[in-house]
A and B are shown apart, each in its own frame.
Chain A
């Protein structure tokens, strides 16, 4: 199994541009999450999903959108990039509601200039 994969690894955006961060897992996990990590800080939950077709807001959802059309994929959309969205984005999945079972992807580093 590849686990949780994320693309791209790194991206530079101009203010106002849009992009989609891709996340795919091949473990048939129902639960998927998007986090952002600012330098020297812990992770903050952006959105999560408990199964295909079901998504919900986390702690910092403003400026982002998600969809979950399949079990495997959970893309994160930035519509109008802002410098405050410069961060490292981690996708995670888990097979149960137990948060300790989360598997994290390698992250996408985003720079908005």
Chain B
């Protein structure tokens, strides 16, 4: 069935290092993917998205990579800062319906 999962539930990095958060998905029909950041006690915040016709998309300090062959999605954060500490979710969408399927989340902790 459909599922979006994460390889690691927690990730701890040093300030200034690059962070990589991974996500696996099983629905090969999914054509749109989103990464969200959720700080404690707040709602999810959009970070970056990518469509299935792309392999890579860059934003400000963030890059999303999509490998459709192995159904793998990753979020790279450059020069990680303490303010990046949060739970990161990937989500997938198939077709034109409004349903987003979320993964469980990865807790990123940035050590000063």
Contact = CB atoms under 8 A, between A and B. Distances in A.
Given A100-B34, A100-B49, A42 B91 contact: yes
Contacts of A45: 98-100
A58 B99 contact: yes
Contacts of A59: 99
Interface string A6-29: 000000000000000000000000
Interface residues of A, number: 25
Interface in B87-102: 89, 91, 93, 96, 98-102
Interface in A65-85: none
Interface of A: 4, 31, 33, 40-45, 48, 50, 56, 58-59, 90, 92, 97, 99-102, 104-107
Interface of B: 4, 32, 34, 41-46, 49, 89, 91, 93, 96, 98-105
